Every structure is written in structure tokens, then in C-alpha cells.
Amino acid sequence: MQLSNRISQIQPSATLKVSGKAKQMIANGIDVINLGIGEPDFQTPDNIKQAAIAAIQTGKASFYTPAAGLPRLREAIANVTATDYGISVDQTNVAVTTGAKMALYGTFQAILNPGDGVLLPEPYWVSYAEQIKLAGGVPMGMPVTDGFKVTPELLEQALTAQVKVLLLNSPENPTGVIYEPAELQAIADWAEQHQIWVITDDIYGKLTYNGAKFTSIAALKDQLPTNMIVINGVSKTYSMTGWRIGYVVANSELIKALSAFLSHATGNPAAASQYAALEALTGLQDDAEMMRHAFEQRLNTLYPLLNAIPGFSLATKPQGAFYLFPDVADAQALTGIATTGEFVDQLLTEAHVAVVDGNAFGVDHHVRLSYATDLETLKNAVSRITEFMKTHTK
């Protein structure tokens, strides 16, 4: 009995793997601090939970919805995007999906032919490469500036006849970097000139800190350019990772194709979750702001503490998302631990702190820590890592 070639070329999600190992250790009674997972520690706000409960109790959530989502939800997403991005879009430009993961998966299925290349500025989120492979495409990791940004010059160097798509993620997982409008304009011009699709993963767009402003590359004109595909969702902003609602905003022809794909792949995203997402996007935003503010405080506390750990360095302070991506080359040199994978393993087994190996994001000698957990736990994690460095420094 043999598995398909397709499935044999993909790896399980590295972030879920680390987190699974940490959870197993916790289940075995070990006090592990899990900074491996990218999920807010807050419960979903009450008004959102109540909207789902009402949808279940009134029976509205009992039935299939259209494959691309409830018309009211598609309309609400179009309205929020039109307002936030200053572009004119309507519900024919929107497909609701089972998490932003399915938004990306369906998009790759809809636009990639076998052998088509997707440029992935490094570091990049773990699932992009595997999803591209599942669509028959070729993930093409590419170098970025020291500030973790891609430029038209670097894109020009990476360009081959194979390249069909550029994937941008801002605010970025794992670096927390946000692109400036002028930088985006230059990238958009380059993509237009070469007729390259741009997928912009804006899932962390509302999680920006210390006055940093997020602009999407899809928000530079009054109209959404035909080659731009926006990926977004409610998972991170509204602490709704378990509800699985994401969405795509793109030209209506692509949305039609995507809807056909979704009609066979998922049928529709869970109806109760769609009613919850409708409330998230149209209801009071106070809880979302409270959570954003909490992440900001954590970043401001954790950033200097982490930089003070011998061998850990973070040149620029992240501006968004909820991750830190320190360079640990010196920490490895100090401790004589040869690979970042081993360093991460030892941190987990000895210091009981779970972080993710930067290699999972295409960049060696870095680790990713998530600060989507409370301040006390974060400070405790820093103490444990500091102690680990003290005992292992040669």
C-alpha cells in the first residue's frame, strides 16, 4: 500500500509539531511554557460567542450555506475591506473560507499550474511552501534585506520565467515587520510590470503596535488591481482560531473559480462560525482593541528582556503580529550547540520552554517565540532561557 507522491513531499506543520510535543510534556506533568504556537491566549469575546449560540438556538446554523459564505457575511467583509483599504469592493469580490489556511489553499489551487513558481521572501510562514507543493507549484524562497524586507531589486534577481506569484505577508509572521506604503508601491509596480499575481496575507493587519500603521499592498489604488489577492480572517484579531473563518478578497472571476473549488472541498465553512464572524466584524470592537493593547504591552516588556539574554539579538523591534524572531547564532556559539534544531530541542527538554526553529521558516540560526501569552509567563520564560544560557555557556 503506497501513499501518493503528492502527500509524500510535504512535512507536518513545524509549529503544530513543537506545540504538540510541548502539550504532551505538559500532559506528563512537566511545567512547560509553550511559546511555540501562534494563537492568542484570550477567549473569544462574549458578544461573538453569543451570536453563535443564538444562530444555533434559532436553527439558522443547522443548514448548508452557499459555498463562498453567507451573503450577509460576504457583504460585511466587503464593507470592512472597502473602509479599511479605501477600495471599492462588493460581495462578488469575497469568498469566506474555513480559516485563512483554506483561503490560501484554495487560492493556490485556483491559480497555480504544475511547475508554477511562487516567490516567498524568507522567512515565511510554514504552511505556504507545503500548500504550494500540494497545488503542484514550486515554492521559491528568496533572500530579503537585513530588515527582513523584499525590494524590487531583490525581486528582479529572483525572477525567472517560472515565477507566477509573489506572496507578501505584512505584518509578518515570524518577524513582525510591516512594509511602508512607498515600499509597497515599488513592489506593486514591479509585479504589474511583470504581470505577477500578488497574494497579500493580511491576517495580522489589525495587530500593530506603538503607533505603527499597516497598509496593504492591495490598498494603494481606489480599485483592487486584478492581480492582487487579499487573504484575511478573524482568527488572530478576534481570538477565534478555533472557529475557522478566513476569507479571500479578489477579482470576481477568481472568486467564482474559488467558490467552485470550495463547493467541492469544504461545502461551506461551519454556519455557526460564520454567524460568529459576522458579529466579530460588525459588532463592538472594544475587546479586539483590549487584546491588541495587551499584545503591545507584552511586546514592549519582552523585547528588551529578550535582547538582554546573552547570545540573543533582535536588531529591529517588531511592529506587528505577535512574534519575536531573534538571531541565536551567538547563543549557539556560546553554548557550542551545533544546530538550531538541537538548540530548540534542548531549550524544550532542559529549560522547558517551547520555541520554533527558524529553519521551519526558511532561515537558520533564528528561533520564533510567540508572545500571545500573559506577561508573567513571558518573564518566567526569559528567566528560564537566561538560566539555560548561564549553565550551558562554555
Stretch that binds ligand PLP, among 98-106, 112-120, 256-264, 296-304 (CB under 6 A): 98-106
Residues 108, 164: Cα–Cα separation, whole Å: 11
- State the minimum distance, in angstroms, from the CB of residue 323 to ligand PLP: 9
Shortest spacing between CB 14 and ligand PLP, in angstroms: 12
Q: Does 373 bind ligand PLP (CB under 6 A)?
A: no
- Selected binder of ligand PLP within 40, 45, 69, 99 (CB under 6 A): 99
Q: How many whole angstroms separate alpha carbon 189 and alpha carbon 175?
A: 24
User: Taking CA 80 as the corner, what is the angle to CA 77 and CA 83, rounded to the nearest 5 degrees?
Assistant: 145
Binding segment toward ligand PLP, per CB under 6 A, in 76-84, 99-107, 145-153, 186-194? 99-107
Q: Which of residues 64-93 bind ligand PLP (CB under 6 A)?
A: none
Answer yes or no whether residue 38 interacts with ligand PLP by CB under 6 A.
yes
**Considering the complex, what minimum distance in angstroms separates the CB of residue 364 from ligand PLP?**
20
37 binds ligand PLP (CB under 6 A): no
How far, in whole angstroms, is CA 79 from its chain's centroid? 23
Helix intervals (H) in the chain: 5-8, 14-27, 46-57, 71-85, 99-111, 126-134, 152-158, 181-194, 252-265, 271-282, 286-307, 329-335, 340-346, 375-392
Q: Pick the closer one to ligand PLP by CB: 241 or 263.
A: 241
Asked, as a colleague might, if the bond just before 123 is cis with ω within 30 of 0, I would say yes
Residue nearest to ligand PLP (CB): 99
By the rule CB under 6 A, 169 interacts with ligand PLP? yes
- Which residue from 141, 233, 318, 358 is in contact with ligand PLP, where contact means CB under 6 A? 233
* Binding of ligand PLP by 36 (CB under 6 A): no
What residues form DSSP beta bridges with 233? Answer: 246
Q: Kindly indicate which of the ranges 77-85, 95-103, 254-262, 266-274 contains the residues binding ligand PLP, using the contact rule CB under 6 A.
A: 95-103
Tell the smallest beta-carbon distance from residue 200 to ligand PLP (Å): 11
Kind plus residue range of the DSSP H or E element containing 199: strand 197-201
Q: Indicate the residue among 99 and 137 with the shorter CB distance to ligand PLP.
A: 99
Do 239 and 254 contact (CB within 8 A), yes or no? no
* Candidate list 117, 137, 141, 246; residue touching ligand PLP; CB under 6 A: 246
- For ligand PLP, the closer CB: 137 or 205: 205
For 236-261, b/e burial (b = at least 16 CB within 10 A) is bbbbbbebbbbbbbbbeebbebbbeb
Q: Does 303 bind ligand PLP (CB under 6 A)?
A: no
What Å distances lie between residue 316 and 44, 296, 331, CA to CA? 31, 15, 18
Alpha carbon distances (Å) from 299 to 118, 305, 333? 31, 10, 26
Q: How far is the CB of 169 from ligand PLP (least distance, A)?
A: 5
CB of 242 to ligand PLP, least distance (A): 9
Residue 59, sorted as left (phi over 0), alpha (psi -120 to 50) or beta, turns out to be left
- Among positions 100, 294, 348, 372, the unique one binding ligand PLP when judged by CB under 6 A: 100
CB proximity list for 334: less than 8 A, separation 6 or greater: 310, 311, 389, 392, 393, 394
Grid cell listed for 58: 434559532
207 binds ligand PLP per the rule CB under 6 A = no
Identify the three-state secondary structure at position 165.
strand
User: Among residues 105, 125, 275, 361, which is the contact residue for ligand PLP, using CB under 6 A?
Assistant: 125
* Binding interface with ligand PLP (CB under 6 A): 38, 99-101, 125, 169, 173, 201, 203, 233, 235, 241, 246
